Amino acid sequence: MSSYITKILYSPITHLADARFAAAAGIEYLGFCLNPSHPNFILPIKAKEILDWISGSHAVAYFGEQSVEEIIALSELLNMDIVALENNLLPDELPSIGKPIIKVIDITGKDTIYLHNEFAAYHNYADAFELKGSFNENVSIEFVKGICAQYKVFLSVDFKDLPVRETLLYLQPYAFMLETGEEEKTGLKEYDELNEFLEKLKL
């Protein structure tokens, strides 16, 4: 059982220190960016080294505009628990991946009609949705609350000036994405701020 007000996805994992921090903090989901066109891309061999150390957390592999064949091959090679898709694969292509799927949807600049269509198209094929981006005049916090009540939602939306704890308690998502900190120098990150932030999310 989580010791936080919501489950936490810690991403993107780029160093073993990230995984060690997550283990000590009791974080349940660890995200690895396997999209080579993304700035947070981690080499599969490096991801494997970290994954071999991990115990007790679910590994989530993020893919971009890669083929189904590449997604299947990498997620099986690394024995990923979950696949997160930031691409335009059609809903009926998802079952062939053979892993639980998180469909990532960017709400930035979108309207509710577009989003309802996305949820309707994918909800029979995806195990969960990740909402990222920013609230706007069309997509309100109340709309997202309704989505969180209807679907299993990993939330990585920019809260801006909203208080995080109170907002999470109001929205009640399945999980909240906590971004990894910036590396200070090779092999060293500062985790004090992250620990302080996590304290605010304790039950």
Range(s) of the domain holding residue 82: 7-198
> Would you say residue 66 lies in a domain?
yes
Report the DSSP pairing between strands 82-85 and 101-106: parallel
- What pLDDT sits at residue 136? 85
Count of domains forming the chain: 1
Residues whose CB falls within 8 Å of the CB of residue 183, separated by 6 or more in sequence, listed in order: 14, 15, 189
pLDDT, residue 181, reads 67
**Secondary structure (3-state) at 25:** helix
Please tell me the predicted confidence (pLDDT) of residue 186: 45
State how far the Cα of 43 lies from the Cα of 54, in Å rounded to an integer: 17
Q: Does the residue 1 lie in any domain?
A: no
| Mean pLDDT in consecutive groups of 10 residues from the start of the chain, 203 residues | 88 93 94 96 96 92 97 97 96 97 96 96 98 90 95 93 94 95 57 90 94
Shortest CA distance to 63 belongs to which of 93, 104, 29, 100? 104
Rg (the chain; Cα; Å): 17
Nearest to 44 by CA among 35, 53, 55: 35
Domain of 53, CATH number, reads 3.20.20.70
Per the confidence metrics, is the pTM higher than 0.85? yes
Q: Which amino acid is at 102?
A: I
Partners of 91 in the β-ladder: none
Q: Is residue 71 part of a domain?
A: yes
Instruction: For residue 41, report the phi and psi dihedrals to the nearest 5 degrees.
Output: -55, 135
**Residue 182 pLDDT:** 59
2 belongs to a structural domain: no
* 93 part of a folded domain: yes
Q: Is residue 147 part of a domain?
A: yes
203 belongs to a structural domain: no
Domain assignment present for 103: yes
